[in-house]
Amino acid sequence: AIQRYRDPGAGDKMNPFAEQEAWEEHQIGKATLKFGSKDKKQAADDYQYVFEDGIDFIKESVMDGIQDEDAMPPESPGASSAKSMLQDERKTLPIYPYREELLQAINDHQVIVIVGETGSGKTTQIPQYLHEAGYTKRGKVGCTQPRRVAAMSVSARVAQEMGVKLGHEVGYSIRFEDCTSEKTVLKYMTDGMLLREFLGEPDLASYSVVMVDEAHERTLSTDILFGLVKDIARFRKDLKLLISSATLDAEKFSDYFDSAPIFKIPGRRYPVDIHFTTAPEADYIDAAIVTVLQIHVIQPPGDILVFLTGQEEIETVDEILKHRTRGLGTKIAELIICPIYANLPTELQAKIFEPTPEGARKVVLATNIAETSLTIDGIKYVVDPGFCKIKSYNPRTGMESLLVNPISKASAMQRAGRSGRTGPGKCFRLYTAYNYHHDLEDNTVPEIQRTNLANVVLTLKSLGIHDLVNFDFMDPPPSEALLKALEQLFALSALNSRGELTKVGRRMAEFPLDPMLSKMIVASEKYKCSEEVISIAAMLSVGNSIFYRPKDKQVHADNARKNFHSGFVGDHIALLNVYNCWKETDFSTQWCYENYIQVRSMKRARDIRDQLEGLLERVEIEPTSNPGDLDAIKKAITSGFFHHSAKLQKSGAYRTVKNPQTVHIHPSSGLAEYHPRWVIYHELVLTTKEYMRQVIELKPDWLVEIAPHYYQLKDVEDSGTKKLPRGEGRAEMTQ
């Protein structure tokens, strides 16, 4: 079960700090109010106007500023041109005074660990310094980021600073989107993309420097990159390796890279007051909203950063904040709401970096991306509900889930630090000091220890790394998870019984997709429907944003959607129908509007599809089309997703066939009311129940036909002909 909401029973009475100190500045509704620059009475009125019940906070401690007076920025000189202003701004960053020293150190050592507070200029400046010092004459400078948005936004910033067009000298590369050219010398990319580059260039010959940035995030791809770059650095003595991190556990990186020297960029941070709630909050979303309004009405100017767990939450908070402030007119100052999350369209991403107009206040609603990867200037207040989405994996069942979990203490400190970059800040934690001290782990477990490894194992195998157990992992994955990955790849026929890559596996590795999706595509050759299957794969890769369902037009939207589902064809086929209909209208935007389809998502699907088409050619799979034969398409899907089979129970719920677990068809599915006896699902999502999202009907004998080494006849017996004895049915219901 998810611990989504904190246990209100948590013993706050035991909190040693609880009664020590009242929140000195104001205790809403209780003690006196102190209101920055505002008139007291006015603010109290505003307060009444905006909400009735406030949240009580208590200040527990102050996170010390770590500023070094000598390193403080000189006054910004008057702007002459945008570019020279940016050049001057570069000189105010904490890293700037260390430019020469850093370049010297890079010159003297092959591998360096660089540590510096978020916002000190590591990501944007170091690659530029290297370029200015001539490193790009010998090869590209590559800089990896765990997140796509960071790669895009940072490269845009650097291109701007260098006065070049993005995609020319400075570019980025993320999955399905390559914004680089022949000219590109500074290449920002996701860690996963660099990992894929090893497939084509195992010694990274075109690079002179590789900077593994945000190393502290310890994403799966970053961890694998560590092992690979460490290995090539041994025989490519001309390659420089920079490992950069925002946190101080740099010793571990240094140890791993054979005692590489650590270069510390002295930080600059102002003191941050840390406030905790006096009692646990039952609903952190609501608490976050109230806290934002509370800050807005009462606290002196300065922007607010709120950490939420994902797009849905961000949209909810965005909507409620708009609703609550709407119609207040001049009662309160303007509140500019800026969301930022991975799938936010590029044109809207820039908004968070725009300066806040005089008299207004900006509130940035962000996912974990704002914890260390992105620096937003002007933030003075941080609201930290204490949660983030964390992937977890059960190697026994092979089930992966993305759950809302409490953050670690290290994360909480990073979040708080975001408020003290340009002046003293305040962090409002929506949990108690007791929770913080007793319930939060010190650090987040590295992703490699809590994820499905099938994808990585396939990549490593195709790089010729066979001995995975002895791979130089910084922290090894659980051996159970490695074994499960090997098993899964074997079941998908990507590996043979000796664990060697097969022809199928080699083809699968060419696709930057999950092995199940890659297998589905490779299998489409056999069923002569590769055209249809890559459309489906592209639509699935876009995620859950194809159908548009505005609150005031839900009925219309649902009706429009039903058109694509007619005949209970299943969700994959419905997605294919959407794509094909759109294509028939010559990719019309108008058509999308009329059918409640998000045109932006469709364009992305088209892009992805184009790339998959190119990859098909590369692995020599003929484009074939078989639109009339839905069974052929479903069999191709089953070839990739046979692990995801489920069978209807008497109770109306489903039971997964292997590793039995009770699941349900997601209400948004076209099959939600049809209840086929056997289904294949694309993914499981846990909300109020464990739901299967994107479902097709399955003929059970396909399982034995397609995956005979995984399913035996007994697994699929009772395929409808045999009637269950009464007792058995009842027993199933009570289970």
Q: Which does 187 bind (CB under 5 to 8 A by kind): Mg ion, ligand CDP, none?
A: none
* Least separation in angstroms between CB 224 and ligand CDP: 22
Q: Which does 305 bind (CB under 5 to 8 A by kind): ligand CDP, Mg ion, none?
A: none
Q: How many residues bind ligand CDP (CB under 6 A)?
A: 16
Residues in 68-127 that interact with Mg ion by CB under 5 A: 123
Please, are residues 294 and 55 in contact by the beta-carbon 8 Å criterion?
yes
Residue placing its CB nearer to Mg ion in the complex, 123 or 291: 123
Report if residue 426 touches ligand CDP, rule: CB under 6 A: no
Q: Which does 247 bind (CB under 5 to 8 A by kind): ligand CDP, Mg ion, none?
A: none
Report if residue 128 touches Mg ion, rule: CB under 5 A: no
In single-letter form, the type of residue at position 402 comes to L
Pick from 567, 576, 568, 563: which is nearest to 524 by CA? 576
List C-alpha distances in Å: 614 to 393, 500, 512, 608, 611: 33, 26, 12, 10, 5
Please, are residues 153 and 166 in contact by the beta-carbon 8 Å criterion?
no
**From 62-70, 149-157, 397-405, 532-540, span contacting ligand CDP (CB under 6 A):** 149-157
Residue placing its CB nearer to Mg ion in the complex, 123 or 518: 123
Residues in 152-171 that interact with ligand CDP by CB under 6 A: 153-154, 157
Rounded Cα gap, residues 393 and 456, in angstroms: 14
* Least separation in angstroms between CB 215 and ligand CDP: 12
* Least separation in angstroms between CB 209 and ligand CDP: 16
Q: SS3 for 313?
A: helix
Q: How many CB atoms lie within 10 A of CB 386?
A: 25
Q: Which does 375 bind (CB under 5 to 8 A by kind): Mg ion, ligand CDP, none?
A: ligand CDP
Q: Which does 377 bind (CB under 5 to 8 A by kind): ligand CDP, Mg ion, none?
A: ligand CDP
Residues 6+ apart with CB under 8 A from 353: 153, 376, 377
* Least separation in angstroms between CB 145 and Mg ion: 8
Helix (H) / strand (E) containing 557: helix 554-564
Q: How many residues bind Mg ion (CB under 5 A)?
A: 1
Rounded Cα gap, residues 347 and 401, in angstroms: 30
**From 150-158, 199-207, 220-228, 566-574, span contacting ligand CDP (CB under 6 A):** 150-158
Q: Which does 93 bind (CB under 5 to 8 A by kind): ligand CDP, Mg ion, none?
A: ligand CDP
Rounded Cα gap, residues 101 and 108, in angstroms: 11
Report if residue 124 touches ligand CDP, rule: CB under 6 A: yes
* Least separation in angstroms between CB 98 and Mg ion: 16
* Least separation in angstroms between CB 404 and ligand CDP: 26
Residue placing its CB nearer to ligand CDP in the complex, 338 or 680: 338
Residues in 104-123 that interact with ligand CDP by CB under 6 A: 116, 118-123
* Least separation in angstroms between CB 147 and Mg ion: 11
Rounded Cα gap, residues 199 and 463, in angstroms: 6
Whose tokens are 């389809």? That residue is 597
* Least separation in angstroms between CB 601 and ligand CDP: 24
Q: Which does 15 bind (CB under 5 to 8 A by kind): ligand CDP, Mg ion, none?
A: none
Please, are residues 734 and 713 in contact by the beta-carbon 8 Å criterion?
no
* Least separation in angstroms between CB 340 and Mg ion: 15
Residues in 377-406 that interact with ligand CDP by CB under 6 A: 377
Q: Which does 353 bind (CB under 5 to 8 A by kind): ligand CDP, Mg ion, none?
A: ligand CDP
Out of 28, 55, 58, 93, the residue judged to bind ligand CDP by CB under 6 A: 93
Residues 6+ apart with CB under 8 A from 336: 356, 357, 360, 361, 362, 363
Residue placing its CB nearer to ligand CDP in the complex, 203 or 377: 377
Report if residue 425 touches ligand CDP, rule: CB under 6 A: no
In single-letter form, the type of residue at position 39 comes to D
Q: In what order do the strands lie in the sheet with 140-145?
A: 177-179, 170-174, 186-190, 140-145, 207-212, 240-245, 111-116, 262-265
* Least separation in angstroms between CB 138 and Mg ion: 24
Residue placing its CB nearer to Mg ion in the complex, 123 or 184: 123
Q: Which does 124 bind (CB under 5 to 8 A by kind): Mg ion, ligand CDP, none?
A: ligand CDP
* Least separation in angstroms between CB 441 and Mg ion: 24
Please, are residues 172 and 148 in contact by the beta-carbon 8 Å criterion?
no
Rounded Cα gap, residues 373 and 363, in angstroms: 18
* Least separation in angstroms between CB 119 and Mg ion: 8
Helix (H) / strand (E) containing 155: helix 148-162
* Least separation in angstroms between CB 266 and ligand CDP: 12
List C-alpha distances in Å: 175 to 143, 201, 666: 15, 17, 28
Q: How many CB atoms lie within 10 A of CB 182?
A: 5
Looking from the CA of 45 toward its CB, the CA atoms found within 13 Å total 9
Pick from 252, 249, 272, 255: which is nearest to 115 by CA? 249
Report if residue 414 touches ligand CDP, rule: CB under 6 A: no
* Least separation in angstroms between CB 242 and ligand CDP: 12
Quick one: residue 568, left, alpha or beta (phi over 0 = left, psi -120 to 50 = alpha)? left
Residue placing its CB nearer to ligand CDP in the complex, 119 or 280: 119
* Least separation in angstroms between CB 183 and ligand CDP: 21
Question: Which residues is 393 bridged to in the sheet?
Answer: 400
Q: SS3 for 282?
A: coil
x-or-dash string of contact with ligand CDP, 164-203, rule CB under 6 A:
----------------------------------------
Residue placing its CB nearer to ligand CDP in the complex, 54 or 127: 127
504's tokens: 């199928």
In single-letter form, the type of residue at position 54 comes to G
Please, are residues 272 and 419 in contact by the beta-carbon 8 Å criterion?
yes
x-or-dash string of contact with ligand CDP, 347-376, rule CB under 6 A:
------x---------------------x-
Quick one: residue 543, left, alpha or beta (phi over 0 = left, psi -120 to 50 = alpha)? left
Residue placing its CB nearer to Mg ion in the complex, 118 or 459: 118
* Least separation in angstroms between CB 153 and ligand CDP: 4
**DSSP secondary structure letters along 616-643:** HHHTT------TT-HHHHHHHHHHHHTT
Determine whether 478 is exposed, middle or buried from the number of CB atoms within 10 Å of its CB (0-12, 13-18, 19+). middle
Q: Where on the chain is the footprint of ligand CDP (CB under 6 A)?
A: 93, 116, 118-125, 153-154, 157, 353, 375, 377
Q: Where on the chain is the footprint of Mg ion (CB under 5 A)?
A: 123
